Amino acid sequence: MKDYPIYLLPDKFDIDEKIKSEILKDYKRFGDEGLPDNVEGYILEKYKIDLTAEYGPFTIKNPFGKSSGQLSCNINQVKADLEGGIGFVVLKTVIAQDESQHSNMAEWTVKAPKMVVEEIFSKKGQKGYTITWKGRGWDKSFQDYLKFMEEALSLSKSSNIPVIPSCKYHLPNPGEVYDEKEYRFTTKSLLSVWQRIMGNVPMALEQDFSPTLSGSDRNTDQQNIIDWLINVPLNVKKWCRKGEIVLGLKLMNALYDDEFQVQMLKTITSAGCDADYAITFNRLFDPNKVFEGKKGVAYGGWDLSDRNLRVLSAFRAWQYESGTVKKDFSLSATGNINSGRLMVEYGLRGCCNGQIHTYFQLPQKNYRARAGTRVQKALHELYFNPVNGLILTMEWLRDKKGIHSENGLIRWQDIYTFYKKQNIFKFF
């Protein structure tokens, strides 16, 4: 497969010195004082930058979300994030089961308290971070998850910030049947909690195809993965009325080449797949690394974002060539989003938001802000960093690339829809 660009943006952003110094002033000020209450309103008014974004069926106030994982598995974490300025929160992945508590994927309910934040060098030699851990899905009971979800949704409703459940349904080996009882019970249970709190609002739900599938005894040959992508949505949606569930597939980075990753994207955007949106792509998997006596762990860092961006480029390039680029299918980014610049790289490939785990977990020295939670400190960098923050990057896109609407306003939405208007590989 042809090599597609990983980065479209230049190494340095040359923008007006006056604007640069305003960004620096804000960076220092909010680093000391903490972010303003309505930071999106502040950025809109001062910089004429509109951060409004989308997640699945929802409009969100900014593109930065907390991805499913260890940072969204209790109500205090969710509450702090909603209060701290996050755009949306995806809850930890629960493992599907039937009414008698039987689960085909029970090996994913591993309890693993030890989690290590480590530096990691990519193949290209870039230093980043990865979280090493041998756990998997939600490790308490399914009933506990429903209770957690209900509490989290109540906070979501009062704050008007989406909170999204995540699930790992039965993924059969070739020739095995989909466990209908698990699909039915899990889907109906999640939906009933959702509707009790959210009424008629459709339930967004992520299905997690995790990297750990590659280290399990599940058959992850290419055809089987493709079969899952087609059949999981059918089996979930069988148990709800049309429109009640908006299903997002969180795609795995399988242990195959980029071409297969593109094939997954072609599959889920084809008429034969009933998924509504996708999250691209969950972490990489190292089958040889040993941690706490377990061989085979997931990892991230720059290799993850390099791969994801390369694959998304290849997919968009294929869409340009095949004339399918106008087709609507919403993508959410995940993988090493550690700056506004990187968020924009994903945005230019049509990702309308970004889901973050690792960057919300780094050692303190990585954030300038001293006050607030990790998420607030991270958001401060993501927006205001004077070298690679979102405001600086968007100012450059407006100033040097002319991306804006009639009145000079640049919207986050202008970025993630841009690929439909222009061939990004010719434009940059």
Ligand X SMILES: Cc1cc2nc3c(=O)[nH]c(=O)nc-3n(C[C@H](O)[C@H](O)[C@H](O)COP(=O)(O)O)c2cc1C
Chain contacts with ligand X (rule: CB under 6 A): 67-70, 92-93, 115, 131, 133, 137, 166, 208, 210, 250, 282-283, 300, 304, 334-337, 355-359
CB of 2 to ligand X, least distance (A): 26
Strand 64-66 and strand 88-95: the pairing is parallel
Q: Which residue's CB is nearer to ligand X, number 74 or number 417?
A: 74
Q: Which residue's CB is nearer to ligand X, number 43 or number 120?
A: 120
CB of 18 to ligand X, least distance (A): 33
Angstrom CA distances, 181 to 96, 143, 241, stand at: 10, 17, 17
CB of 84 to ligand X, least distance (A): 17
**Residue keyed to tokens 């059969």:** 172
Angstrom CA distances, 156 to 7, 51, 82, 194, stand at: 35, 19, 8, 11
CB of 132 to ligand X, least distance (A): 8
Q: Which residue's CB is nearer to ligand X, number 34 or number 128?
A: 128
CB 92 within 8 A of CB 166: yes
User: Vertex 419, ends 418 and 424: CA angle to 5°?
Assistant: 110
* Phi-psi sector, 405: left (phi>0), alpha (psi -120 to 50), beta: beta
Q: Which residue's CB is nearer to ligand X, number 283 or number 341?
A: 283
Three-state DSSP class for residue 172: coil
CB 169 within 8 A of CB 207: yes
- Phi, psi for residue 418 in degrees, rounded to 5: -60, -35
Q: Which residue's CB is nearer to ligand X, number 289 or number 401?
A: 289
In the Cβ-directed half-sphere of 225, how many Cα atoms lie within 13 Å?
24
Strand 127-133 and strand 115-121: the pairing is antiparallel
CB of 291 to ligand X, least distance (A): 11
CB of 49 to ligand X, least distance (A): 23
Q: Which residue's CB is nearer to ligand X, number 142 or number 418?
A: 142
